[in-house]
Amino acid sequence: MNPQELIRFHRVEKRYGPLRAVRQADFSIRRGEVFGLVGESGSGKSTIANMLIGLTPPSDGTISYMEKPLWRKGSFHMPRPGELQIVFQDPQSSLNPRMTIREILLEPLYAFRAAERKEKGSPERLASLIKQVGLKEEHLSRYPHEFSGGQRQRIAIARALITDPSFLILDEPTSALDVSVQAQILNLLKRLKEERNLTYLFISHNMSVIRYMCDRIAVIYKGKIVEIAPAAEMFRKPGHPYTRILLSSLPGVYGKARDPLSFAPPVSEEKADACIFYEKCPLRRERCLEAPAFVTWEGDWGGACHFRN
């Protein structure tokens, strides 16, 4: 096993009855990288986050952190409380409006024993933490409604950092924020990552943000990961047709994409063993009735498409 591998998803499935929300997810996240997960609504990206953070168990497969499975017999165990943390999309509802900022920040520490809690939650540490995310010490005694969306997201980030995690899941952290505030938060996230040696799973539907933030990117469609590539390569020459369509759909501030591609008119019947993208793929052929395997194309780059394989 690769000592650089922090997280490993091995053939992970999540089913809700007949619906397969996540299909055969197989990928790893390396220490120190920003791993992007991009997909549209219903793609399963949030389900992957939920499984990784302990909110919902996988139906099949293993999710490991530093080689140890996180889920054992249906219950979730982190190697140490607060080792993995998550920042959610909506700064409005991710903070309890009836708690002060201090209480909000201290809450994750209740998974620790009293002694460690006192140490990690000391007034000095709190003050230092709140300043690191760009707020002031006096803000600790205020309530969430007194802050703007961007500030609340800073608070959510501080809360995620209080346990000194090694790994952070960022689930659409700036999607609800204005462009100018988004820039501040993205800068903050990058700085914190450097300062604290963090590893990120960055989930978004916004390709520009993903390109800016991530080292490697996975594209997910209807529960299946169809391509994983280093960011620069993926944007320069996307491999999978769905990735190409995603990039073509981006409203470019400075012009259109090369090689634009669009969805094909959908086929009506369900083809059970076909490629996940068969229904809307503009490049589909008969071969595609048999699902392609996920294959490494070049170095860090891989995907599931007959035409690239």
Partner 1 sequence: MLLEIKNLSVEFRGIRGTVQALKGISLSIEEGEILGIVGESGSGKSVTALAILGLLGKNAAVTGGEVLYKGRNLLALDKKAWTSIRGKEIGMVFQEPMTALHPTMKVGRQLAEVIRRHRGVSRKEARRLAVASLEEVHIRDPQSVAEKYPFELSGGMRQRVVIALAMSSPPSLLIADEPTTALDVTTQHEILKLMKELSEKRGTAILFITHDLGVVAELCRRVAVMYAGEVVETGPTAEVLRSPVHPYTQALLHALPDLADPHEPLKAIPGEAPDPRARPAGCIFAPRCQMRITRCQREKPSLEPVSQNRHTACWLAR
Partner 2 sequence: MQEQAAVRPSLPEGEIHPVWHKVKNNKLMLAGILLIALLLLASLLAPLLSPYDPTEIRIAERFQPPSPDHWFGTDEVGRDIFTRILYGARLSLGIGAAVVVAAGLIGMILGTISGYFGGTVDQVIMRVMDMILAFPALILAMALSAALGPNLQNAMIAIAIVKIPVYVRLARGQALETREMLFVKAAKTFGIRPWRIIAKHIVPHSVTAVIIQITLDIGDAILLVATLGFLGLGAQPPTPEWGAMISVGWKYLLDYWWYPTFPGLALFLASGAFNLIGDGIRDILDPKSN
Interface with partner 1 (CB under 8 A): 40-41, 148-150, 178-184, 186-187, 190-191, 205-209, 211-213, 231, 245-246, 248-254, 262-263, 265-266
CB 105, min distance to partner 2, A:
11
Considering the complex, state which of residue 24 and residue 89 has its C-beta at the smaller distance from partner 2: 89
What does the per-residue mask of binding to partner 2 show for 69-98, with x meaning CB under 8 A?
Answer: ---------x--xx--xx-x-x--xxxx-x
- Residue 294's alpha-carbon distances to 81, 284, 287, in angstroms, are 34, 17, 15
The verdict on 215 binding partner 2 (CB under 8 A) reads no
Are the C-beta atoms of residues 14 and 63 closer than 8 Å to each other? no
Considering the complex, state which of residue 125 and residue 306 has its C-beta at the smaller distance from partner 2: 125
Considering the complex, state which of residue 4 and residue 148 has its C-beta at the smaller distance from partner 1: 148
Considering the complex, state which of residue 253 and residue 272 has its C-beta at the smaller distance from partner 1: 253
Q: Is 72 exposed, middle or buried (0-12, 13-18, 19+ CB in 10 A)?
A: exposed
Q: Which does 143 bind (CB under 5 to 8 A by kind): partner 2, partner 1, none?
A: partner 2
Among 54, 57, 69, 230, binds partner 2 (CB under 8 A): 54
Q: Which does 60 bind (CB under 5 to 8 A by kind): partner 1, partner 2, none?
A: none
The verdict on 166 binding partner 2 (CB under 8 A) reads no
Q: Which does 146 bind (CB under 5 to 8 A by kind): partner 2, partner 1, none?
A: partner 2
The verdict on 107 binding partner 2 (CB under 8 A) reads yes
**Residue 73 phi, psi dihedral angles, 5° rounding:** 55, 45
The verdict on 167 binding partner 2 (CB under 8 A) reads no
Q: Which does 94 bind (CB under 5 to 8 A by kind): partner 1, partner 2, none?
A: partner 2
Among 55, 127, 232, 293, binds partner 2 (CB under 8 A): 55
Token duo for residue 5: 């591998």
CB 82, min distance to partner 2, A:
7
CB-facing half-sphere around the CA of 227: CA atoms within 13 A: 28
The verdict on 136 binding partner 2 (CB under 8 A) reads yes
- Residue 246's alpha-carbon distances to 84, 198, 208, 234, 268, in angstroms, are 30, 29, 11, 11, 22
The piece of 4-12, 153-161, 172-180, 228-236 that touches partner 2 (CB under 8 A) is: 153-161
Q: Where does this chain bind partner 2 (CB under 8 A)?
A: 53-55, 78, 81-82, 85-86, 88, 90, 93-96, 98-99, 107-108, 110-111, 134-136, 139, 142-143, 145-148, 151, 154, 156, 159, 163, 184
